[in-house]
Every structure is written in C-alpha cells, then in structure tokens.
Amino acid sequence: MNQSMLSNTKTIFCLFLFIYHSTYLSAQNTKLSGMDQMKWKKVLPGVWKAEIGELQLDPFNYTNPPKAKAIQNLGEASFPFDAQKTLHHQTPTRIGIRLPLEEEEKIYGLGLEFEGINRRKQVYTLKVDHYGGVKGYTHAPVPFYISSKGYGVLINSPQRVKIHVGVSNRKDSQLPELVDRTTGGNKWAARPLSDAVEASAIGTGMEVYVFAGNTVLEVVQRYNLFCGGGVLPPKWGLGFWHRVHTQSSDQDVYKEIADFEKNDFPLDVIGLEPGWQSFAYPCSYDWDESRFPDPGKFVDALSQKGIKVNLWENPYVAPSSSMYSSIKPYTGSHTVWLGEVPDYTLEAAQKVLLGHHQKKHLDLGVSGYKLDEVDGYDVWLWPDHASFPSGHDAVEVRQLYGLILQHLLQEHLRKQNRRTYNLVRSSYIGASDKSAVIYSDYYQHKPYVTALANSSLTGLLWTPEIRSAKSAEEWIRRFQTVCFSPMMMLNAWYSGTKPWSFPEVTDQVREVIVLRKRLLPYLYTAFHNYQSSGSPPFRAMVLEQGFAEDEKLVGGQLDDITNPYAELQRLEVSDQYMMGPSILVAPIFTGEKSRKVILPKGKWYDFYTGQFVGDGESITVKATLGQIPLFVKDGGIIPMIAEGEDLNSDTPKLEVRHYGTTTASYLLYNDDGVSYDFENGAYSITELVVSRRKGGKLQGKRKLTTAYQGFDYGKIDWKWMSAGK
C-alpha cells in the first residue's frame, strides 16, 4: 500500500470514528443533558407540532383535513407546559421522548381500554390486538393522552408506542424521597412517582402534537377537529341492528323479518355473517349462490321494507375469490388462514377491492360492512418480519390496517354521496371522522361500559353489543346498555337469539328499543355536534367537569389552590357516562339491587319522572328491572319523537321535554339523513327556546335560524317534566 492510499485510508477511518462517536456514543449519553429539546411549531390555534426524523407511513394519510375554522372558533390557548423540558433522543433503531408531568396531574385516554380511566403510574404497549388483559393490547390503542391540567399529547407513529405514564425515574430527574422498604412501611413505593411521561417507538420518525384547551372536553374537541371532526352517521345507522346466524339463507332472513313484524319490534339493519359468502376464512367476497341465489332481489326486498343490509368480511382473500388473480400481485409475503393479505397502502390494490365491492355489493344496495379480524393474535396474523410490496414495515401495516380500510370504504361511498355506518375490529389515530363502530369478541358487561366511556377520550365509537345471556335479568340489562350506545345491535351470529328470546322481559326489551328510537332527534343532533365541534356524543364523566370557577386555567396554568383536580378525581368513574349534552346514563348490572351515581356539579332530575334527584353529589338509586337509570341536568331540553308516531317518518310530531327550572335554549339539527349534502348547506337548525312569562310560568318556542333549509320535524308538544315538582 503506497503512502497516498495509506493516508486516504486513515482519513476514512478517522471519519468513521467521528461518525460513530457522534451518532452512536452520543446516543448512549445517560443524562438529561444528552437529550435534545423539541422544536415546536404552532399549526393552528391551541395546536403545536414537533417533528423527529421522518415518518415512513403516516396515519394522517388516512384521515380527512383538520376543521380549521372550528378549531379557530375554540379560540387561542397557551402552550401548556415548559417547552424547555420537552426532550427527545434518537438511536439508529428507536426514538424516545420525555414530557413534563406535575405531581397531581391525572392522565386519561390512550384508546379503547376495558379497565379504569386514570392512566397515571401505568405502562402501556399500544399494540393493535385482541383484548387479552395486557395493558395497551386492544382493538384500538391510540397514543393520545389528556391531562387534567388542560392539554393533550398525540404521539403520531405507525409503530407500537410504549408509554410510561409517570413511571420510570431518570437518575438526574426530580426524584421522590428515597425510602427503605424494610423500615419505611407504606411510604415505600414499588412505582416511585415520576416527573415525566416517557414514550418510545421503533423507527426513524415520529411527530408529537400538543392540544391545549380551557377544559378537558375542549382538548378532546380540538383533537377530534384536527382529525377531521366527528362522524355524522345516516339516520338508519342509529336504529336497531340485528345480525343473523352465520348460516342464514335469504329465506331464513325473510322469516326473521316476519318474526320481527309479528312481535312488533323495529328493525333497521340486517347484518349477514360469514355464510353469505361462497368461502369464508379467508374470504371470497362473492355471494353463496345456494343461500342467496339472487342477491340483488334479496337486497331490494329488504330495502322495500326500509331495512339496510350490512355484510361481514375479513381482509384475507381466498383463492376461489373472483378478485383473487387481480389482487394477488399486491399482497404480502405471508398468508392469513391461507388467504392472501393485500397491501392496501397501494392504490392498485385499493382499486381492485373497491371495484369488486362496487360491482358485487354496493351497486345492489348494500349499505356497508363489518370489517373483522384486522386486529388478531400473532398466532394467526402475519408476523412482524413479513414483507409487503409497498416496502412498508409489517408492524406499521398492521397498526393501520383497520384505519386504512375504514377510510377507503367511507371515502369511496362519499364520492357517491352515500353515508354509511359500519363495524370494525380495530382502529387507530384520527378515527373520529370514520363511520365505523368498534366491537369485540370479549363479552363482559361492566368492562364494556368502561370501554364505552374510555373510547370517547380518543375519537372512537364503541358498541356494547348483546349476543346472549344467562338469565332474563342479564338480557334486559345488556339491552338497556346497548340501546344507549353508538350502535344498538343484537349480534346473533352464533347464538341465533332474538329480542324476545327471554319472554318474561320481552315487553321491557321492546320499550327500551322504542325509547332509543324516539330519542333520535336528540341523538342525531348530538352526532351533528360531534361532526361540527368535535364534542363526543357519548362521553366519559371526566369530560363533563371542565373547570369550575375556582379552578380556571390562567395563562395555561392552574391557579394555586388546594387540590385543583378534586372534582375531576370525583368524576373518574367508568360505569356511567353522558349521552348528548344533557342525559347521564347509569347502567344497572346483573344482580345489583341498587347502584351509586356520581352527579356532576349542578342540579339533576330523573329522566322518567322529572323529580329532582341531587345537586353535584353522590346518590344511590334502586334498581328497576324495566328501566335503565337516566338523569337530566337542570335546563336540559330533550327533543323526542312523540309517542305513537311513525318512528321512521321524515316529519314526525315531536315531544320536547324540559327538565328543572332553568331557562335554556337548544339547537335542533336535521337533514336528509342519508347523503353528504349537509356539507354544502342542505340542513336545518331550529332553536328551541324555554323562557318565562311574566307570571313566572315556563313557555317554549320554536325559532327558525339563518341555517334553516326546510328539513323540519312536525308539530311540537312541550312537556314540562319538573314544573311544580
């Protein structure tokens, strides 16, 4: 080797050592001083973003644009914590972040969870999976958390985020008192209090968003609006759904519909399970000609009765499918149940799926889908080392698979001006504007209610579907819960049950279904508010609190008062929740003779009688078999379809209830219930106003607003539920 070559070799070697030292050794710096400060950029009022590296597969590719004007209407907000204490570090394989956390802060969110509501002092691995009791392994783990201090943080990554919520103590951070376990008694803690939220994910890129607000609810609104707002389902989607046995034929379905009519039960959607297909697990997506010889005639016959058809499917393509040869070039390296796994990040694969579904299903009048098995266990889904033709990482594809399919089908139907309402087994970041409700194989009643409450914190909808029961009491209790949820559904795919399967409570089941149907004007307006302002139609009690007069945010910080989070802590309950702006729902569970209900601040009244029940206190209510406990806040205005009216009429007569003694107003929303014309102004908002006459008696008035476009209900009868009580 000559001198010149030796010199060049030494130069290259020194350069390599320099790169190695600066990249690898610096990444091993074990002190906070070795981390980099995040650089925040304001993107909208109350919304900031920091970028670390570069994302490979961005979840926001499958959401709609932010509702910027609605976010602006929420007003400005200050950055909620010390930006200098927001830190990150990056190694060749992983990105980690550290955000400050005060001692008394409460943390909520992180997606669909079946246990608890306060996430403080826990560790979650946010993996799309069947619920199996592992923290973070759920159908919809969303790396978005909300602080009682009045802000939210979204960690935008297509990878599985591992998050330590006030757990794990860096050696040079603010450490709590060191206690000897053998002599410290109950002062010793297995999980010492930490001064930060720390999170990490494999990959080369991550985005971190901060959402500020004057209330906890406003933080959630801002997040939902940033993700495109909430979904507004078609009206039929808020009716009664019945999923028939998996082996049902068209004749079986006709008989079921006749039985619904005979037993005087409303029916809005029929769901067909795997047996409608010529092959399932994996799927053909083609009709089984022996069970459904004329699917077009079948769908049309149901349509004539006002009943929609929803089809079950999973995403894995059977060799017998008529779309198999077209989709095969765009599938991954591994199969699921020996079916091909399409790479739906590719436009070519999307076109095959949508083209087939349009011709075989949607052109016939099929209304939507139940998207199953997009979340399954590792033993049957593709492994982490699988490869896809797009080059995207297999873990990233799995995390986003359910979100991608929701987005594709919804936007495909949007182009046809058709609203849909679907079921899905997994979801992720930015799902608030998706027209799908999450469901599960898990089947515990009380955790189902917890899931309903938790889902509202991260832009998700959840149905506590009913399938079967061990007793008539459990049957009616589950029906009461599902009738006060985003989707009222009996899923009889394997049980073959009917609403009248327990004759001793058939009348009570019918009554609660009819009550839900009568509440459509109120519930539909709540979903409109979700779509336009980001306020969840069903929501956890912690979103009711906001901050009382002595707990207001001042310049992004809470006043220095004793335990400023006391009221939020009181509302950290997950067995009750709000529906719309005024109704508190407190389900009864099998075997309970009574239950405790936490009332937020203010006066509350019994929904059924109008009687005063309490003022910002805890009450105990006795269990009544035929009723689910419902309570209405003072001044609550509840528009309902009048008793005896056609529940499917476009212009039914309304009964408008007022509770309490406070004057109030309510903006009642209406549109055609099926199309996206509302996005172009084809809707009506009618103001319902309660005021007092000179003698002090309450009076109600309907006032047309500038948004009125002729979508009106019929005559209104006012009902003063609490007058004189």
Q: Read off the pLDDT of each residue in 662-669 and give the average, rounded to a whole number.
A: 96
User: At CA 215, angle to CA 213 and CA 220, rounded to 5?
Assistant: 70
Q: 306 phi and psi, to 5 degrees? A: 75, 25
Start-to-end Cα distance in the chain: 103
Kindly tell me if the per-residue pLDDT of 564 is higher than 80: no
What pLDDT score does 2 carry? 52
What pLDDT score does 725 carry? 52
Mean predicted lDDT score pLDDT of the chain: 92
pLDDT tier, 30 (very low <50, low <70, confident <90, very high otherwise): confident
pLDDT tier, 555 (very low <50, low <70, confident <90, very high otherwise): very low
The answer to whether the beta carbons of residues 397 and 405 sit under 8 Å apart is: no
What pLDDT score does 379 carry? 82
Instruction: Specify the amino acid at residue 347.
Output: E
Kindly tell me if the per-residue pLDDT of 548 is higher than 70: no
Look at 69-78, 96-105, 187-196 and tell me which has the smallest mean pLDDT. 187-196
pLDDT tier, 174 (very low <50, low <70, confident <90, very high otherwise): confident
Q: What percent of the chain has pLDDT over 90?
A: 83
What does the alpha-carbon distance between residue 721 and residue 129 come to, in Å, rounded to a whole number?
Answer: 46
Q: Read off the pLDDT of each residue in 142-158 and give the average, rounded to a whole number.
A: 97
pLDDT tens digits along 448-486: 999 999 999 999 999 999 999 999 999 999 999 999 999
Same fold for the pair 32-175+189-226 and 235-529: no
pLDDT tens digits along 484-507: 999 999 999 999 999 999 999 999
Q: Read off the pLDDT of each residue in 629-647 and give the average, rounded to a whole number.
A: 97
pLDDT tier, 553 (very low <50, low <70, confident <90, very high otherwise): very low
What does the alpha-carbon distance between residue 519 and residue 492 come to, in Å, rounded to a whole number?
Answer: 25
What pLDDT score does 114 carry? 95
Residues near 613 by beta carbon (within 8 Å), at least 6 away in sequence:
599, 604, 605, 606, 619, 621, 631
Kindly tell me if the per-residue pLDDT of 166 is higher than 70: yes
Kindly tell me if the per-residue pLDDT of 14 is higher than 70: no
Residues near 521 by beta carbon (within 8 Å), at least 6 away in sequence:
639, 640, 641, 654, 668, 670, 713
pLDDT tier, 28 (very low <50, low <70, confident <90, very high otherwise): low
Classify the C-alpha dihedral 485-491-497-500 as positive or negative. positive
Kindly tell me if the per-residue pLDDT of 16 is higher than 90: no
Q: Read off the pLDDT of each residue in 89-106 and give the average, rounded to a whole number.
A: 94
What pLDDT score does 543 carry? 96
pLDDT tier, 707 (very low <50, low <70, confident <90, very high otherwise): confident
Q: Read off the pLDDT of each residue in 91-99 and give the average, rounded to a whole number.
A: 94
pLDDT tier, 378 (very low <50, low <70, confident <90, very high otherwise): confident
pLDDT tens digits along 258-273: 999 999 999 999 999 9
Q: Read off the pLDDT of each residue in 374-390 and give the average, rounded to a whole number.
A: 92
- The CATH class of the 32-175+189-226 domain is mainly beta
* 235-529: CATH topology: TIM Barrel (3.20.20)
Kindly tell me if the per-residue pLDDT of 6 is higher than 60: no
Kindly tell me if the per-residue pLDDT of 13 is higher than 70: no
What pLDDT score does 384 carry? 95
pLDDT tens digits along 313-364: 999 999 999 999 999 999 999 999 999 999 999 999 999 999 999 999 999 9
Tell which wins on pLDDT, 45 or 168. Answer: 45
Break the chain into its structural domains and give their ranges.
1-30, 32-175+189-226, 235-529, 576-720
Look at 130-134, 325-329, 453-457, 703-707 and tell me which has the smallest mean pLDDT. 130-134
Kindly tell me if the per-residue pLDDT of 551 is higher than 80: no
pLDDT tier, 557 (very low <50, low <70, confident <90, very high otherwise): very low
Residues near 288 by beta carbon (within 8 Å), at least 6 away in sequence:
275, 276, 277, 278
Both tokens of 661, joined, read 């003694």
What pLDDT score does 563 carry? 63
Q: Read off the pLDDT of each residue in 422-431 and give the average, rounded to a whole number.
A: 97
Q: 90 phi and psi, to 5 degrees? A: -135, 130
Kindly tell me if the per-residue pLDDT of 367 is higher than 50: yes
What pLDDT score does 53 carry? 94
Both tokens of 603, joined, read 């006066």
pLDDT tier, 203 (very low <50, low <70, confident <90, very high otherwise): very high
* 576-720: CATH topology: Immunoglobulin-like (2.60.40)
What pLDDT score does 377 carry? 83
CA dihedral 234, 235, 239, 241 (to 10 degrees): -20
What pLDDT score does 139 carry? 95
pTM of the prediction?
0.93
Tell which wins on pLDDT, 376 or 504. Answer: 504
Residue 392: count of CB within 10 angstroms of its CB: 18
Q: What is the 3 state secondary structure string of 167-212?
A: CCCCCCCCCCCCCCCCCCHHHCCCCCCCCEEEEEEECCEEEEEEEE
Q: Is 423 helix (H, G, I), strand (E, B) or coil?
A: strand
Kindly tell me if the per-residue pLDDT of 674 is higher than 60: yes
pLDDT tier, 566 (very low <50, low <70, confident <90, very high otherwise): confident
Q: Read off the pLDDT of each residue in 19-27 and give the average, rounded to a whole number.
A: 46
CA atoms within 13 A on the CB side of 355: 11
pLDDT tier, 21 (very low <50, low <70, confident <90, very high otherwise): very low
What pLDDT score does 44 carry? 98
Distance of CA 544 to the CA centre of its chain: 17
Classify the C-alpha dihedral 274-278-279-283 as positive or negative. negative
Q: Read off the pLDDT of each residue in 624-629 and give the average, rounded to a whole number.
A: 96
